[in-house]
Amino acid sequence: MWRDMTDRKTQIVVVGGGAAGLALVRKLAAKHDRATHDIILVEKNRTHVWKPLLHEVAAGSMDANSDEVGYGGHAARWGYRFFNAALERIDRDRRVIVTAPLLDEAGEVVVDRHEIRYDWLVLAMGGVSDDFGIPGVRDHAMFLESRQQADLFRRKMLNACLRANDRKPEGAEARVSVCIVGGGATGVELSAELVNAAKALRSYGLERFDEDTLQITLLEAGPKLLPALPEDVSDKVKGRLAELGVDVRTGAMVTRVGPRAVEVKDGPTIEADLILWATGVRGDHALSKITDLELSKRGQIVVEPTLRSKNDPRIFAIGDCAHCVLPGEERPVPPRAQSAGQMADHMVGQLDRAQKGQPLRDFVYRDRGALVSLSRFATHGSLMGNLIGGKMQIEGRVARLAYQSLYRLHLLAVHGPWRGTVRIAVNAINRVTRPALKLH
Ligand SMILES: Cc1cc2nc3c(=O)[nH]c(=O)nc-3n(C[C@H](O)[C@H](O)[C@H](O)COP(=O)(O)OP(=O)(O)OC[C@H]3O[C@@H](n4cnc5c(N)ncnc54)[C@H](O)[C@@H]3O)c2cc1C
């Protein structure tokens, strides 16, 4: 059993330190007295990078080292405990979670398997891209779900560019082809970010690398890009991507992925040096082994509108790992950063009420709209709100500011108002002083 501070303390365990979990532990630690409460974050990584930045990390236009948050330091600053391990199993009868052994690069055990007692357990483990059981996806495609995957994509992309640059004078076919599957925000934003990076490569010594060397194909099974945005916004985005040289194909249903090929129903097979899969969100496949809690068809933990799990009053789930259908709604709360942040806020009061035995309140999701950034080329989206009387489409500088404010809100949630503001200022300076591309 991992060191229990004292049996008398209320122990709140949060698993997963992403957009939802990290904001939650900070707020819980700031709210509760350490003499009465022990707030514990269990997270498999040692640092946090906000997921919506991963396409920039993958393209090299952001250096994640300068934006990451070290859990150890964050925990010391805010007064919660950080336990670096992956959740392996929940023993609901004994109210303990079991964490997997932490291994080093050589597979040696660094920290043994542990048990951690909980009074209240909040699962905030995020989600993964849905491969819909399509053959070859897990074996041959890359994903953009973690910092490690974004770093891997960037390294492979850079190697492919260096190879193409090196071979061009010999007359060999010199091209880097990337196939991105999924026309949601991730696929769209990564396409534009890669075009931006390719434009900058010449000034980084890849003199023979021109814009035609990079060929990007973006495949979307549905009739339009960006299902969360209105039709005309998605048309504009499609047009802008086409102007940037991206081959956008909607209605393209992928049926199989091979080592360097993406097969499309009723269409030609697309050959690609790099294949990136960015479709849908589902619960981590491991969840069914971790817990016997009810899971949705997409493998997410089914919660009541209060965010409490259907099967256990001591366990809650928030963010992408939760399947929450609110009263009067047919569809679940969407897996987005804004939902994760709002759920984290709601959990703070909810845990208070649960501890006092008071009735829980339903979560209310406030859709603030959706925005998509085409790197430095354009930003489009729609804002929702009572003040503007419903939905308003925005683009250009206003949209850019609204887009940037999403990350700023995350920084304030994670670092608090004072430190968050300093981080925002430092980031602004960094953007001016650091190189445009990270090429390692
Ligand atoms: C490339 C990309 C771009 C995106 N862009 C946008 C956008 O523009 N706007 C928007 O609203 N949303 C966007 N999203 C979605 C948004 O990032 C997610 O909805 C949000 O991060 C969900 O927060 P979360 O806390 O539920 O999960 P996450 O932020 O994914 O955090 C989950 C955490 O749990 C940890 N974890 C997982 N399993 C375990 C385990 N077994 N044990 C311990 N720890 C574990 C993970 O390491 C991670 O730190 C984007 C997502 C991606 C991938």
Q: How far is the CA of 270 from the centre of ligand 1 (A)?
A: 29
Distances (CA, A) of 12 to 35, 90, 340, 347, 372: 13, 14, 18, 12, 36
What is the token pair recorded at 354?
């649960």
Q: How many residues does the chain have?
A: 440
Atom of ligand 1 nearest to the CA of 126: 27
Q: Which residue has the higher pLDDT, 431 or 150?
A: 150
Q: What is the CATH number of domain 10-129+282-356?
A: 3.50.50.60
Closest to 425 (Cα-Cα) out of 438, 406, 412: 412
Average pLDDT in the 344-351 region? 98
- In this model, does residue 16 exceed pLDDT 70? yes
Q: What is the mean pLDDT of the chain?
A: 91
Q: How far is the CA of 151 from the centre of ligand 1 (A)?
A: 16
Q: How far is the CA of 165 from the centre of ligand 1 (A)?
A: 35
CA distance linking residue 49 with residue 72, whole number of Å: 14
* 3-state SS assignment for residue 79: coil
Q: Which residues pair with 14 in a beta bridge?
A: 41, 122
Average pLDDT in the 139-156 region? 95
* 3-state SS assignment for residue 127: strand
Tell me which DSSP letter residue 104 carries: -
Pseudo-torsion of CA 243, 248, 250, 252, nearest 10°?
Answer: 170
CA distance linking residue 296 with residue 1, whole number of Å: 31
CA distance linking residue 179 with residue 73, whole number of Å: 39
Average pLDDT in the 335-339 region? 93
Asked whether the beta carbons of 258 and 136 are under 8 A apart, the reply is yes
Residue 189 CA, chain-centre distance (Å), reads: 13
**Looking at residue 435, what is its pLDDT?**
64
Which tens digit of pLDDT belongs to each residue from 90-120? 999 999 999 999 999 999 999 999 999 999 9
Q: How far is the CA of 184 from the centre of ligand 1 (A)?
A: 15
Q: How is the chain split into domains, by residue range? A: 10-129+282-356, 137-277, 369-433
Q: Which mutation among 25, 27, 50, 51 tests ligand 1's pocket best, with the greatest number of atoms within 8 A of CB?
A: 51
Cα angle vertex 372, ends 367, 377, to 5°?
A: 155
Is there a shared CATH topology between the 10-129+282-356 domain and the 137-277 domain? yes
Handedness of CA 215, 218, 224, 225 (dihedral sign): negative
Q: Which residue is closest in CA terms to ligand 1's atom 45?
A: 16
Atom of ligand 1 nearest to the CA of 403: 8
* Sheet containing strand 10-15, strands side by side: 81-84, 37-43, 10-15, 120-123, 315-317
User: Does any ligand 1 atom lie closer than 6 A to the CB of residue 193?
Assistant: no
Asked whether the beta carbons of 326 and 365 are under 8 A apart, the reply is yes
User: Does any ligand 1 atom lie closer than 6 A to the CB of residue 369?
Assistant: no
Q: What is the CATH number of domain 137-277?
A: 3.50.50.60
Which tens digit of pLDDT belongs to each residue from 50-63? 999 999 999 988 88
Q: How far is the CA of 50 from the centre of ligand 1 (A)?
A: 7
* 3-state SS assignment for residue 27: helix
Confidence of residue 77 (pLDDT cuts 50, 70, 90): very high
Q: How far is the CA of 16 from the centre of ligand 1 (A)?
A: 9
Percentage of the chain beyond pLDDT 90 is 73
